[in-house]
Amino acid sequence: MKNTAYFKGLLILCLFVSACQEKEVPPPTPFGPLPAEKQLAWHELEYYAFAHFNMNTFTNMEWGLGSEKPAQFNPTQLDTRQWARICKAAGMKGIIITAKHHDGFCLWPSAYTEHSVKNSPWKNGQGDLIKDLAEACKEYGLKMGIYLSPWDRNHALYGTPEYITYFRQQLRELLSNYGDIYEVWFDGANGGDGYYGGANETRKIDNKTYYDWENTIKIVEELQPNAVIFSDAGPGVRWVGNEEGWANETNWSLLRKADVYPGMPDGKQLRSGHEDGTHWIPAECDVSIRPGWYYHPYEDHKVKSLNQLVDIYYHSIGRNASFLLNLPIDTRGIIHERDSQQLMKLAATIQADFAKELAAGKKVAASNVRGEATSFSASNTLDGDPATYWATADGVQAASLEIDLGEPTTFNRFLIQEYIRLGQRVTAFTVSVWKDNAWEQVTAGTTIGYKRILRFPGITTSKVKIDLEAKAPITISTIELYDAPVLMEEPQISRSKEGLVTIQVNDPKASIHYTLDGSTPTKESPVFSEAFPLANGGIVNAITLDPSTGRQSELSSITFGFGKEKWTVKSVSSGDLNKAAACIDEDPNTWWQSAKEKAMPQEIVLDLGAILSFKGFTYLPMQQRWVDGFIQFYDFYTSVDGKSWTPIAKGEFANIYNNPIEQIVNFPVTKAQFIKLQAVNIVSGMQGMGIAELGLVPE
């Protein structure tokens, strides 16, 4: 009995001593600039929405001038709960609202200006959109952020010190009256000209000094201590240096803050941050689900495809940045059906990609463990707990981890996270798999930071090795492996000027199946192997298919008119004749425009090279983000000799401004060698007759 008690005591003592010894292994010393608590919380949000909605929505502009009238702000079905419901279902964690954009119109009844919702017809001037959104966000468990444009093209005092007082009063209103704000967004744009209370002039300010940012930031810190501040220079979060939704693969959460200020000219640096940065200022990727930030009906057919959105996800969240996806709220005041459809597809795809983690709880060994302590063991990377991490000893800045999956496992995603509370350290890593009795490298990366996700073709193995190099002892909190379903990219169908149809897809494993009779292709349909002629037009339907899995893409479909090999531009009424070939080059992204200063009508004459028999013509207006030259009323003529002309059709391309897709005009079959399209007038506000592509519908 005595002995047992003695041994028990000894055992407890030993355990106590070893526990004490464990405790003695200190964590690595923090390295470099560190994230603040509020930044750590922000990192975990990853994906949230931007809502661009205010005066521009009703004037169909991207940047209002400041001379708009509150009476123009008149949503008919405004429903911030619809926004919140959709964002929540999309997996987003918050919504940042454009409380005031560059045109100065305020979505809340500010006490400091008349240029706000209080003078608008919406809710008879009794509305407060920021309050509505705050309540909707609360109901759906979302956070709310505020975009407040420093530049104000409406305010008479913009450019003077008094404006800064006004700006700060507004900031105080927004940060005092609507509950918790998680992010305050200060745009760097300062374009110069504006209405400015009727002055209608150009006002330049010094981006670095005018706003006295130091003291403006203090207001945010005082009123919303948990909010991160976004700008080119942070101090909480930085712009990523493009509006396309991607960070560089090498992406430091660090910035030499003194070199950067809102609106700085060389924004490209922000794509990678600064390895030798003095402050923790991680990147946020802001991008719109459509080409524009504001709603324009003419972009209804340009909502980003699922493939584009998925790429953005991996190029932002997968590269140590957050994903701020803009939803241009429409004139009704709700998220447009097409946008919400794409959001749901993206959510489903991301959910499927990360549905089953394959490395959780597996055996893992490290080439070095700090003090050989369990508190820093390799298994911390696979325990699903972001608060635990594997760390190496002081002086050990290159090390590896070997994961034993226990059985052959297939995966195509590698996810890794640093324990960033102690700083960002890793500069390079590789992922290798055990194959034919040797390690074979599958993929590699540079920085990690909060999160890095790599995509690669599926690989099957039972052992994985990760080699890392860092600027200080390595600290890794998470490693995950996934086998994401392959998302088949839809094929791109095009035809050359020579009339040859090409169907392309980037995936080398995928086969392309197509039909020419209008039916939907199946795996039995012909496989596309080389360009084929389609000089007399017709419909091409195509899908991509992975023969090994049977997965297939969405359908791509294009209806072609006559091939244009022999077509030439005979004359244009103004503008550059040589450039007019762009109208018949089969490339929707090139265009020709008549001289902008010339009055309408303007015209273009084509020589078809031979007499053709056709029953309609097609007109594709410009497809660029900044469009121009849309023909509204047209006259269409044909001729057999290019001299005497027969009027064939005249009319209006109705709704072309709102929906600038290919316009088709049908008429009784006609035979001719020459055609003439005349722009009787151009959509109001545009200049010059513009054409991306002209075509003819064969008989």
CB of 324 to ligand FUL, least distance (A): 8
CB of 185 to ligand FUL, least distance (A): 8
CB of 338 to ligand FUL, least distance (A): 20
Q: How many whole angstroms separate alpha carbon 88 and alpha carbon 141?
A: 8
C-beta closer to ligand FUL: residue 283 or 481: 283
C-beta closer to ligand FUL: residue 151 or 298: 151
Subset of residues 635 to 654 that bind ligand FUL, contact rule: CB under 6 A: none
CB of 63 to ligand FUL, least distance (A): 6
Tokens standing for 199? 């002055």
Pairing between strand 492-495 and 500-504?
antiparallel
C-beta closer to ligand FUL: residue 62 or 662: 62
CB of 230 to ligand FUL, least distance (A): 10
C-beta closer to ligand FUL: residue 102 or 513: 102
CB of 51 to ligand FUL, least distance (A): 11
Subset of residues 60 to 119 that bind ligand FUL, contact rule: CB under 6 A: 62-63
Query: DSSP letter at 662?
Result: -
Q: How many whole angstroms separate alpha carbon 594 and alpha carbon 576?
A: 7
Q: Please tell me the total number of residues recorded for the chain in this structure.
A: 699
C-beta closer to ligand FUL: residue 187 or 483: 187
Subset of residues 266 to 325 that bind ligand FUL, contact rule: CB under 6 A: 286, 293
Strand (E) or helix (H) holding 57: helix 55-59
Question: Can you name the residues that pair with 452 across neighbouring β-strands?
Answer: 319, 416
Q: Is 201 left (phi over 0), alpha (psi -120 to 50) or beta?
A: beta
Number of residues that bind ligand FUL (CB under 6 A): 6
CB of 96 to ligand FUL, least distance (A): 9
CB of 189 to ligand FUL, least distance (A): 4
Interface map 51-70 toward ligand FUL (x if CB under 6 A): -----------xx-------
- Residue 605's contacts (CB-CB under 8 Å, 6 or more residues apart) are 569, 570, 571, 572, 642, 674, 675, 676
Pairing between strand 556-560 and 538-545?
antiparallel
Subset of residues 519 to 548 that bind ligand FUL, contact rule: CB under 6 A: none
Subset of residues 169 to 198 that bind ligand FUL, contact rule: CB under 6 A: 187, 189
C-beta closer to ligand FUL: residue 11 or 189: 189
Q: Coil, helix or strand for 88?
A: helix
First to last CA, the chain: 106
- 641-647: Cβ within 8 A, 24+ apart: 641/673, 641/674, 642/570, 642/605, 642/607, 642/673, 642/674, 645/674, 645/676, 646/670, 646/672
- Residue 208's contacts (CB-CB under 8 Å, 6 or more residues apart) are 261
C-beta closer to ligand FUL: residue 190 or 678: 190
CB of 187 to ligand FUL, least distance (A): 5
CB of 267 to ligand FUL, least distance (A): 10
The secondary structure of 484-503 as a DSSP string is PPP-PPPPEEEE-TTSEEEE
Q: How many whole angstroms separate alpha carbon 247 and alpha carbon 253?
A: 11
Cβ–Cβ < 8 Å for 546, 510: yes
C-beta closer to ligand FUL: residue 67 or 590: 67
Cβ–Cβ < 8 Å for 321, 282: yes
CB of 326 to ligand FUL, least distance (A): 7
Tell me: cis bond preceding 235? Omega within 30 of 0 counts. Answer: yes
Subset of residues 418 to 437 that bind ligand FUL, contact rule: CB under 6 A: none
The one-letter amino acid code at 128 reads D
C-beta closer to ligand FUL: residue 35 or 66: 66
C-beta closer to ligand FUL: residue 240 or 470: 240
CB of 293 to ligand FUL, least distance (A): 4
Cβ–Cβ < 8 Å for 322, 44: no
Residue with nearest beta carbon to ligand FUL: 189
Interface map 221-260 toward ligand FUL (x if CB under 6 A): ----------------------------------------
C-beta closer to ligand FUL: residue 295 or 414: 295
C-beta closer to ligand FUL: residue 207 or 638: 207
Would you tell me which residues interact with ligand FUL (CB under 6 A)? 62-63, 187, 189, 286, 293
